Structure 1
Amino acid sequence: MLLACLGATSQAQADTLLTLDDITPTSGSSASKISDGILQLTDNSLSNRTYQIGSAYSSSAVDVSSFSASFSFQFSGGNPNWNNKSADGIVFVMKNAESRTSGGPGGGLGYASNTENGITYAGINRSIGIEFDNWTNSTFSDPGGNVSHIGIDMNGNGRSLTTLNISPAFNGNGPWYAWVDYDGSNLSVSVSTTNSKPGTAMLSYEIGSLESIIGSPTAVIGFTGSTGLATQTSQVLSLDIQNTSEPVPEPGALALLGTGAAIAIVRRNKMRLPETC
C-alpha cells in the first residue's frame, strides 16, 4: 500500500511542460496571438502577404530528455495574385535558448537557411525542427507528388533527414492534429485530420541525444512559419507537451520508503519468532 502511494506521488510529477499559453510571438516577426489564444504565424489578409517570417517560443527552456507533444494547426487561403496558390508551412522547433529565432521565408519555412530575392538567411542552428510543409521545393529535395509532407530537420538545414507525403493537402483540410514523441533517442511524428493518435508512428528517425544536438539538456520550444510568392494563413490552435522521463520520488518519499521497508522487516521477523515456554 505504501509503495502504491509512492508510485502515485511519483507519477504526479510527470507534469505538463508547456501549453500554447506559454508560447509568445517573437517581436518583429509576422507571428501574433489572436482570439482564443490562437497562434497565427502568417496572415493571408495582409496587403503585403508575401515572404512573411513568423516565429514564437516558450519564454524559458524546458527539459527535453524525453517528451510527448501534441498540437493542432490549420492552413487556409492562398495568394489571389498568384493563382490562389498556398504555401509554405510551419515547423515545430526545439532549439538552444541562445540560437537565432528564425530562418528564411518561402521554402525556408522560417526555420532553414535559404536565399530569397537575393537575400541569404541563416537557419536556426543547434536545433531540431519538424516541418509541416505544403509546397514542393526542389532546392530542399522535398518529395514530389503530393506537395504536402512532414519531415524531420536538423540545425537549420531544410534538407530533411526523412520525409513522408501526406494526403489530403494540409491547406483547406484542417484542422490537423500532430504528435511528436522523443524517447531519449528516437524521434517520431504522426498527423491526422482526426484527434486520434495513430497506433504506430508515421515517421521516425534515430537522432540519438537531443542534448548533444541542441548543446543543452533543456530547450526553448516553439513554432516558425513562412510564405513565399504563394501565401496562406498558418495557425497553431492548441499545444500540450508532457515530460515522459521516468519520475523520481522526492527525498521525503525515499525516506518514507526506507522507513516503510524497515517496519515491514521488523514485522516479518516478529512473525518468525518461535513460541516460548
Structure 2
Amino acid sequence: MRGVIEPARSPAEETGHAREARRQQQLLDALFASERAAPRDALPGWPRGVAAYRVNAAAHAAQVLRAQHPTVLAMLGDDAFDALAAAHWRDCPPTRGDLARFGDAFAGWLRQRDELAAWPWLGDCAALDQAPWQVQFAPPAALGDTDLQRLAGGDPDALALRLAPATRLLEADWAVVALRELHAATEPDTDAIAQAVRAAPQAAWVWREGFDARCVALDAAGVRWIRALRDAPTLGAALERAGDGVDVAAWLGDAVRSGWIDGIDAVTTKEPLT
C-alpha cells in the first residue's frame, strides 16, 4: 500500500532481488509524498536524490505518454498534452518501477476529466493508442502443430479456441480507427477529421505480428465472431453464436498466419446424470 514503508530487514533475511524490490517501492512511496523520512538504509543525500528523481521521472513519464498516445498528442498539441501528462502523473502515480507501463490508466482518466467534456472521443482514442503498446508486452502465441491437427480433424463441439494474449478487441463509441489514421498524417485533413467525428462508431482489432503492432476496423459480424470466440465454451458454440457474415475458413487462415490463436484445446463434456 502506498504511503507505508515497511521496517528494514537485515541482509540475512532477504535476497538481493527482494531487497532491490523493497528499495524501489520505497522510492515510489517517497516520490509521491510531500515529506517522507528516509529509510534506515538510505544513502547520504537521499532527500536531494529523491527530489531530482521526482523531476526526472515526471519528465520521463510525459515522454512515455507521448510515445504511447500519438493520436491524442496530435489532437491536443504539445502544450495541452504535456499539461495533462503532468496532471495524470499527480493523480495516477505509477505502482511499479517500470514507467513503460505508466499509461495503462490514461484513457480512463481522460474520460473522467470535466474540462475535456467537449472532446468525448479522446478517451476512446487513447484506448486505441494504448492497445498496440499493450500487445507489445504480451506473451507470444503458443499455437503448435498439435493444435492445428486438432483443429483440422476435431469436432467443433469438442474444441475450444484460445485467442492469443497479444490480441485486443476494442469496441468504441467513436470512429477510432479512422481518427487514428487521419491524425497520423503529416498534415491532417481537418475536413475529413470533422467527418470522422460524426461517423458511426468503429470497433478495432489489434494484434502483434512479429515485432509490429497492427490495427484494423471490424464490422459488426467480425465483432460478433471475436466475442463468440472469447466467450463461448466451444468452437461449435462460437460458430452458432456468431451467425452469418464471417468467412470462418478465411478467418482461420488469417489467424494462423497472423498469430491470433494461442491454442486449440480439447473440451471434455460430461454426460448428463440419469
Q: Which has the higher strand share?
A: 1
Under a length normalisation based on structure 1, what TM-score does the superposition of the two structures give?
0.28
Under a length normalisation based on structure 2, what TM-score does the superposition of the two structures give?
0.28
